[in-house]
Homo-oligomer: A and B are copies of this chain.
Amino acid sequence: MGRRIGLQTVEIESKPRIIGTYNIVGPKEGQGPLKAYFDRIIEDDLNGADSFEKAESSLLYTAISESIKKSKLKEVDINYLLAGDLLNQLSSSCFAARDLNIPFIGLYGACSTMAESLSVGAMIMEGGFASYVVAATSSHFSSAERQFRLPLEMGSQRAPTAQWTVTGAGAMVLGKNGNFPYVTHVTTGKVKDYGITDVNNMGVAMAPAAVDTIKQHFMDTGRRPSDYDIIATGDLGVIGREFTEKLLLEYKYDMKGHYIDCGEEIFDAKLQPGTNSGGSGCGCSAVVATGYLLKNMLKGKFKRILLVSTGALLSSTSPLQGETIPGIAHAVAIEFGVSK
Q: Which residues on A are within 8 Å of B, measured CB to CB?
A: 1-4, 8, 10, 50-51, 53-54, 79-80, 84, 86-91, 94-95, 97-98, 100-110, 116, 119-120, 123-124, 126-131, 188-193, 313-318, 321, 323, 326, 328
Known A-B contacts A95-B323, A190-B103, A193-B98; A127 and B318 likewise in contact (beta carbons under 8 Å): no
Judge whether B103 and A106 touch: CB under 8 Å. Answer: no
Judge whether B106 and A107 touch: CB under 8 Å. Answer: yes
- The interface residues of chain B lying within 8 Å CB-to-CB of A123 are 123-124, 127, 129
- The interface residues of chain B lying within 8 Å CB-to-CB of A126 are 127-129
Judge whether B104 and A191 touch: CB under 8 Å. Answer: yes
CB distance from A119 to the nearest CB of B (A): 8
- The interface residues of chain B lying within 8 Å CB-to-CB of A84 are 106, 108
Judge whether A128 and B321 touch: CB under 8 Å. Answer: no
CB distance from A200 to the nearest CB of B (A): 17
Report the nearest B residue to A128, measured CB to CB.
B1
Q: Which of B88, B104, B105 contacts A316 (CB 8 A)?
A: B88
Judge whether A94 and B128 touch: CB under 8 Å. Answer: no
Q: How many copies does the complex hold?
A: 2
Judge whether A1 and B127 touch: CB under 8 Å. Answer: yes
Judge whether B88 and A2 touch: CB under 8 Å. Answer: no
Q: List 19 A-B contacts (CB under 8 A).
A: A2-B128, A4-B128, A54-B321, A88-B89, A89-B313, A91-B315, A91-B317, A97-B326, A103-B189, A104-B189, A105-B107, A105-B109, A106-B116, A123-B123, A124-B127, A126-B128, A127-B127, A127-B128, A127-B129
Judge whether B102 and A316 touch: CB under 8 Å. Answer: no
Q: Which 3 A-B pairs have the closest CB atoms?
A: A127-B127, A1-B128, A89-B315
Report the nearest B residue to A76, measured CB to CB.
B7
Q: In the complex, A126 Cα to B100 Cα: how many Å?
A: 27
CB distance from A77 to the nearest CB of B (A): 11
Known A-B contacts A107-B107, A188-B103; A326 and B128 likewise in contact (beta carbons under 8 Å): no
Q: Which of B102, B106, B323 contacts A190 (CB 8 A)?
A: B102
CB distance from A3 to the nearest CB of B (A): 7
- The interface residues of chain B lying within 8 Å CB-to-CB of A10 are 129
Q: In the complex, A165 Cα to B103 Cα: how many Å?
A: 26
- The interface residues of chain B lying within 8 Å CB-to-CB of A53 are 315, 317-318, 321
Judge whether B91 and A108 touch: CB under 8 Å. Answer: no
Q: In the complex, A94 Cα to B192 Cα: how many Å?
A: 10
Q: In the complex, A191 Cα to B90 Cα: how many Å?
A: 13
Report the nearest B residue to A51, measured CB to CB.
B321
- The interface residues of chain B lying within 8 Å CB-to-CB of A316 are 88-89
Report the nearest B residue to A13, measured CB to CB.
B128
Known A-B contacts A88-B89, A94-B313; A104 and B2 likewise in contact (beta carbons under 8 Å): no
Report the nearest B residue to A189, measured CB to CB.
B103
Which of A4, A8, A100, A107 has the most chain B CB atoms closer than 10 A to its own CB? Answer: A107
Q: In the complex, A305 Cα to B316 Cα: how many Å?
A: 38
CB distance from A211 to the nearest CB of B (A): 16
Q: Which of B95, B120, B313 contacts A105 (CB 8 A)?
A: B120
- The interface residues of chain B lying within 8 Å CB-to-CB of A189 are 103-104
Report the nearest B residue to A80, measured CB to CB.
B188
CB distance from A93 to the nearest CB of B (A): 8
